[in-house]
Amino acid sequence: MNLTKSTLILFLFLTGNYVQGQHFRVHGTVIDDVGKPLPSVTVYLKNTKSTTLSDSVGQYLLTNIAPGKYTLIVSHVGFNQVEKELDLKRNITLETIVLTSAVKNLEEVAVRAERQTKIQETKPITISSIQIKDVVAQNVLLTDVVDRLSGVRIRRSSSLGDASDISINGIRGTAVRVYINGLPMEFIYPRFDISTLPIGNVKRIDVYKGVLPVEVGTDAMGGGINLITEQKTYNSLRASYNIGSFNTHLADFALGLANSKNYFITLSGAYNHSDN
């Protein structure tokens, strides 16, 4: 018995490019005076609500900052505070900030102690990325592209459009999450699955194995897949149509409209059909 399944999805990606040219990001790294990255360092802009903490490798990120002049303050317990003047006109990555110890050495004092606790080694952020433009001509689905990455496996039933089971380094289920531009996909499209998303509007796929970076909105124990969409500042149109075995039809398009590099709207859609 043949079971016919058709999937028709139409997505409207409405993204204001208001941030570009209006609000910016400040990124950097904090280390101590022996070159060791400092986690949990407080980094903020004076007289604003923009504040953050450095991560396990000493990196920090301040976002959504209006252009202007600011005083960046970096402080941590046991270290001297550092202040830097900023004239923010674009996204910037600052030079590495070095915090010096505020502890003064005492003369003729000897302290002996045994340390019984162990400090967990900093876990590096392992990222695998693939540019969609490198594979889009091969007429593949989004799940097929992700499944090519090392350590990532996507299991599906034989039916086109069925839900996918994603595993990263053997961990699956709710421990692995899918994001769109850093936001959990279930918040944006709660009824959809990665197997039903059109590939036409995706620019890049980042796969995080384990620890997630600070720019991703939430955490996931097993890792995550972040789909970075196109944000073009010019008008564009891309479409494709493919025919395969079992009466398989795959159609995909992405239409982008821009307005003076301040706003843009992207309309993306896909139609998938198969008799299996």
Predicted local distance difference test score (pLDDT) of residue 17:
43
Q: Which of 37-46, 74-83, 104-113, 150-159 has the lowest mean pLDDT?
A: 104-113
Predicted local distance difference test score (pLDDT) of residue 75:
92
Q: What is the pLDDT of residues 17-28, one digit of tens each?
A: 444 457 899 999
Residues 6+ apart with CB under 8 A from 199: 132, 136, 140, 141, 142, 145, 252, 270
Q: Assess if residue 99 is contained within a domain.
A: no
Predicted local distance difference test score (pLDDT) of residue 129:
77
148 and 264 belong to one structural domain: yes
79 neighbors 14 (Cβ within 8 angstroms): no
Among residues 139, 161, 143, 140, the alpha carbon closest in space to that of 153 is found at 143
- Mean pLDDT over 156-173 rounds to 73
Round to whole Å and give the CA distance between 2 and 172.
31
Q: How confident is the model at residue 57 (pLDDT cuts 50, 70, 90)?
A: very high
Round to whole Å and give the CA distance between 207 and 178.
9
CATH number of the domain that 223 lies in? 2.170.130.10
Is pLDDT at 117 greater than 60 in this prediction?
no
Round to whole Å and give the CA distance between 109 and 245.
81
Percentage of the chain exceeding pLDDT 70: 61
Domain span including residue 62? 24-89
Q: Assess if residue 157 is contained within a domain.
A: yes
Residue 70 or 249, more confident: 70
Predicted local distance difference test score (pLDDT) of residue 274:
66
269 and 191 belong to one structural domain: yes
143 and 70 belong to one structural domain: no
- Mean pLDDT over 197-217 rounds to 76
CATH number of the domain that 82 lies in? 2.60.40.1120
Round to whole Å and give the CA distance between 103 and 89.
37
Predicted local distance difference test score (pLDDT) of residue 154:
82
Round to whole Å and give the CA distance between 80 and 100.
6
Predicted local distance difference test score (pLDDT) of residue 115:
40
Q: Assess if residue 226 is contained within a domain.
A: yes
Is pLDDT at 93 greater than 80 in this prediction?
yes
pTM above 0.85, yes or no: no
For residues 169, 200, 185, 19, the Cα torsion angle rounded to the nearest 10 degrees is 120
Q: What is the pLDDT of residues 173-182, one digit of tens each?
A: 878 888 888 8
Q: Assess if residue 97 is contained within a domain.
A: no
Cβ neighbourhood burial of 145 (10 Å; 0-12, 13-18, 19+): buried
Number of structural domains (the chain) is: 2
Is pLDDT at 242 greater than 70 in this prediction?
no
